[in-house]
Amino acid sequence: MIVEEEFKISKKLLKTLTADTRTQILKALEQRPMTASELSRKLGKHVTTITEHLQKLKESNLVERVERPGRKWVYYRLTRTAKDILHPKSYRFVFVFIISFITVVSSLFIWNVDAYPGDWLYGLDRAVENLQLMLARDHLEKAKKHLEFAEERLKESKVLIEKGKIEYAKKVIEDYEKEMNKAEMEINKARLRKRNVVPLLESMSEATSKHEAILKNLEVKAPQLSKDVKPALIIAERKRIKSIRELENITGKPYSKIISR
């Protein structure tokens, strides 16, 4: 049994949570126990890849194997540790979790250090983001985080282009697109739950306007990235237009009056 006061986040656990695929597996297993094949189909990844990630999660005590008598399939389910991370039952647990995390991070000397793809600290930065999403209270907060991460990806791409790391820049531009799509998805979920999405739609319209300017500048600085930047530019433009239309529909006011209030 895990006692909240004794919970510690280890370096091994931190490294495990760095990979997006592993956090996706954890979220999928929230629904019910699944086999590696089921997870493969659900996440659209090869079963070998899923199996490798499941092994890492098992080693970090986040998932466990369930072998049912008379059945040849092996199922995986969340452990108590994983459930407590995904759904903290008390503020005390959240506090202990965060303090433990800070202890690990500070021991690795990453305070005030900017990390970019290719740097050994970058994985830890992304682990921080994954943990922030796990601890987000609702869809509105998750959407806000994804918008923040999207902007961070654009900042990273700018620095990477300046450093001549074009391949890494391509990757973070792709990640920007993913973050924007996730932000929109969380806003839609919040809307379905009758939450007030107006502030987030305003943030989306303002952010995407800024993103368009940044992406156009990146295209000028690195013409060889044009085919990678254009899809991101289209996404930013479409989401800006869509958020403006939704704002006007919800408020019944022209966008110019909404932002000037």
108-139: per-residue pLDDT in tens? 444 444 667 766 667 767 777 877 787 777 88
Tokens of 76: 């995986």
Residues 6 or more apart whose CB falls under 8 angstroms from that of 236 comprise: 180, 208, 211, 212, 215
End-of-domain residue from the set 24, 59, 86: 86
Task: Work out the number of other CB atoms within 10 angstroms of the CB of residue 5.
Answer: 8
- Check whether residue 140 and residue 238 sit in a common domain: yes
Q: Which domain-ending residue is among 54, 86, 118?
A: 86
Same domain, yes or no: 245 and 143:
yes
Q: How many domains does the chain have?
A: 2
Same domain? For 72 and 185 the reply is no
- The pLDDT value recorded for residue 47 is 92
Residue 123 lies in a domain: no
Q: Which residues contact 66 (CB under 8 A, 6 or more apart)?
A: 33, 74, 75, 76, 77
pTM: 0.62
Residues 13-55 have pLDDT tens digits of 666 776 778 888 998 998 899 999 999 999 999 999 999 999 9
Closest CA relative to residue 144, chosen from 205, 202, 200: 200
Domain containing 55: what range?
4-86
Is 125 inside any structural domain?
Answer: no
Query: What is the predicted pLDDT for the residue at 250?
Result: 85
Q: Length of the chain in residues, anyone?
A: 261
Q: Considering 86, 111, 127, which residue would you say is the last residue of a domain?
A: 86
Matching residue, tokens 């959240």: 94
Q: Across the chain, what does the average pLDDT equal?
A: 80
| pLDDT for position 181 | 92
Specify which residues 146 forms β-bridges with.
none
- Give me the pLDDT at residue 83, please: 82
Residue 137 CB partners (closer than 8 Å, separation 6+): none
For position 32, which CATH number holds? 1.10.10.10
pLDDT at 261: 45
**181 with 76, same domain?**
no
Which two structure tokens, joined as six digits, stand for 47? Answer: 């079963």
**CA 19 to each of CA 26, 128, 182, 192: distance values in angstroms, whole numbers, following the listed order:** 11, 11, 16, 29
Please indicate, yes or no, if residue 29 is contained in any of the structural domains.
yes
Q: How far is CA 29 from CA 72, 106, 125, in A?
A: 19, 31, 25
| 149 and 70 in a common domain | no
Regions in the chain scoring below 70 on pLDDT: 1-15, 18, 87-115, 118-121, 124, 255-261
Residue 121 lies in a domain: no
Q: Is the domain of 162 the same as that of 220?
A: yes
Domain co-membership, 154 together with 239? yes
